[in-house]
């Protein structure tokens, strides 16, 4: 693979533009309807009264900021190593591509955090005997393995949602897992093949994108990552390790002293207990350490990426940057503490349970109606009328059952936490117009 092709070729030249094509990508994402919904979607903790706990929107903005720093720093060095690129591209191009992909990285996540993905998958698994025969094997694998990354790729390429029409480099950097849901497992040890990144409905879209950018093919439907996808992944890893711990400390799930000790291991020689103690506010202490930890991890990931540039371009390097940097043992310890004290805390488990009940209830109501289009019973007809008008039109024109369910899942996975809960209450008769 070569950088000129990976950056979209000479037609992506931004040198003489007031606003580059990649900057337009960033703006289109941030003003899009799916991105706006992230403000009411759970990151880890239920959306509480406290104003310091992150939701999907604040998390995405922070990941984008870290991604921009990583991309720009790496891009500056890449341009020095490959001077011919300077005629057409700038370090800012690398930064904005990474920032845009990072900004959108959670855009396909359903309500109620990752438990929402499990809930949607579980519905289809639980109804295997009734539903599986309706679909081709690849379609069924998509349905029983709902994947936020693939859902995000679908939304970014869907003709609705204001027609984002993002550039190929941004879409490729977004795609951490360049493969469909059903593949042979011969490439499974590779990080890029751990999950999948697009549904069969967008298979041709990704194949064209991969061909245009010159991504190295592993098989007919599997590719190596776009190099900047490693930076997007690193930005996400850095933020969720470091900032989830900060949230956990602020919520009292992890002690102040343990949080300080965990951050100190990441920061290393730059940690200064005396300067820390000079700050009287404990939240401000944690905020300072969080910033220092993020800065250290950005520097280590940048160094590792540049040290492995040729192996990344050849497709030989395929592990997460944060799994191979010097701070990896410290991050592993943070992860262990987070799993034990944060991700398994009662309020997180409660939101997971709610997600299963709510999303299962919505699917139990709407899936039978979609499958019975043209011959719905009374109950299914009432449920169908509750769907948005544009979705009803899309369902009526769907060419097969799989595409109809994909459209329905676009709607259900696109609901915010509040929207999903409100709709579920109405369907269950818990909340009705005029009731108090």
Same CATH topology for 3-111+121-227 and 228-346: the answer is: no
The CATH number for 228-346, chosen from 3.40.50.11900, 1.10.3410.10, 3.30.365.10, 1.20.140.10, is 1.10.3410.10
3-state helix, strand and coil shares in percent for the chain, rounded to the nearest 5: 65, 0, 30
Distance (Å, rounded) from C-alpha 431 to C-alpha 358? Answer: 14
Nearest to 44 by CA among 414, 343, 419, 417: 343
pTM of the model: 0.92
pLDDT of residue 218: 94
Domain 3-111+121-227 class, CATH top level: mainly alpha
CA 24, chain centre distance (Å): 20
Distance (Å, rounded) from C-alpha 141 to C-alpha 402? Answer: 11
pLDDT of residue 401: 93
Q: Are 361 and 427 in contact (CB under 8 A)?
A: yes
Distance (Å, rounded) from C-alpha 144 to C-alpha 402? Answer: 12
| Cβ-based neighbours of 155, under 8 Å, separated by 6 or more | 34, 107, 108, 161, 410, 414
Q: Would you mind telling me the total number of residues written for the chain in this entry?
A: 436
Domain boundaries, the chain: 3-111+121-227, 228-346, 347-427
At 244, is the secondary structure helix, strand, or coil?
helix
Q: Are 213 and 241 in contact (CB under 8 A)?
A: no
pLDDT one digit per residue (tens) for the chain, 436 residues: 999 999 998 666 666 667 889 999 999 999 998 999 888 766 554 444 455 566 888 899 999 999 999 999 999 999 999 999 999 999 999 999 999 999 999 999 999 877 889 999 999 999 998 899 989 999 999 999 999 999 999 999 987 655 688 999 999 999 999 999 999 877 878 999 999 999 999 999 999 999 999 999 999 899 999 999 999 999 999 998 999 899 889 888 899 999 999 999 999 999 999 899 999 899 999 999 999 999 999 999 999 999 999 999 999 999 999 999 999 999 999 999 998 888 777 777 777 788 888 999 999 999 999 998 878 899 889 889 989 999 999 998 888 999 999 999 999 999 998 899 889 988 887 765 555 5
């Amino acid at each position: 693979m070569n950088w000129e092709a990976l950056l979209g070729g000479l037609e992506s030249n931004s040198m003489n533009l007031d606003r580059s094509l990649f900057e337009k990508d960033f703006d289109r994402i941030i003003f899009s309807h799916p991105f706006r919904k992230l403000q009411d979607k759970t990151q880890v903790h239920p959306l509480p009264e406290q104003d310091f706990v992150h939701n999907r929107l604040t998390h995405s903005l922070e990941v984008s900021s870290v991604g921009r720093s990583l991309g720009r720093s790496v891009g500056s060095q890449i341009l020095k190593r490959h001077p011919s690129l300077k005629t057409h591209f700038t370090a800012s191009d690398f930064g904005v591509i990474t920032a845009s992909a990072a900004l959108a990285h959670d855009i396909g996540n359903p309500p109620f955090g990752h438990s929402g993905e499990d809930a949607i998958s579980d519905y289809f698994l639980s109804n295997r005997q009734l539903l599986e025969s309706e679909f081709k094997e690849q379609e069924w694998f998509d349905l029983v393995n709902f994947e936020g990354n693939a859902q995000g790729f679908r939304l970014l390429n869907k003709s609705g949602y204001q027609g984002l029409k993002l550039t190929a480099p941004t879409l490729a950097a977004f795609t951490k897992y360049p493969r469909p849901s059903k593949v042979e497992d011969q490439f499974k040890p590779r990080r890029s093949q751990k999950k999948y990144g697009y549904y069969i409905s967008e298979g041709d879209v990704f194949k064209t994108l991969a061909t245009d950018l010159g991504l190295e093919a592993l098989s007919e439907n599997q590719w190596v990552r776009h190099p900047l996808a490693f930076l997007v992944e690193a930005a996400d890893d850095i933020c969720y390790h470091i900032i989830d711990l900060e949230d956990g400390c602020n919520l009292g799930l992890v002690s102040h002293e343990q949080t300080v000790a965990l951050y100190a291991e990441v920061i290393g020689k730059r940690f200064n207990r005396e300067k820390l103690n000079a700050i009287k506010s404990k939240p401000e202490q944690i905020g300072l350490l969080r910033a220092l930890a993020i800065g250290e991890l950005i520097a280590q990931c940048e160094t590792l990426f540049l040290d492995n540039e040729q192996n990344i371009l050849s497709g030989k390097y395929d592990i997460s940057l944060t799994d191979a940097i010097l701070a990896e043992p410290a991050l592993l310890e943070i992860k262990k503490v987070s799993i034990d004290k944060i991700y398994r805390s009662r309020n997180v488990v409660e939101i997971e349970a709610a997600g299963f009940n709510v999303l299962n209830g919505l699917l139990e109501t709407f899936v039978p109606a979609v499958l019975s289009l043209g011959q719905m019973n009374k109950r299914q007809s009432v449920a169908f009328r509750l769907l948005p008008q544009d979705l009803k039109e899309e369902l009526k024109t769907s060419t097969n059952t799989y595409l109809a369910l994909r459209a329905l899942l676009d709607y259900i996975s696109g609901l915010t936490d509040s929207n999903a809960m409100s709709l579920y209450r109405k369907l269950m008769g818990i909340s009705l117009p005029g009731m108090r």
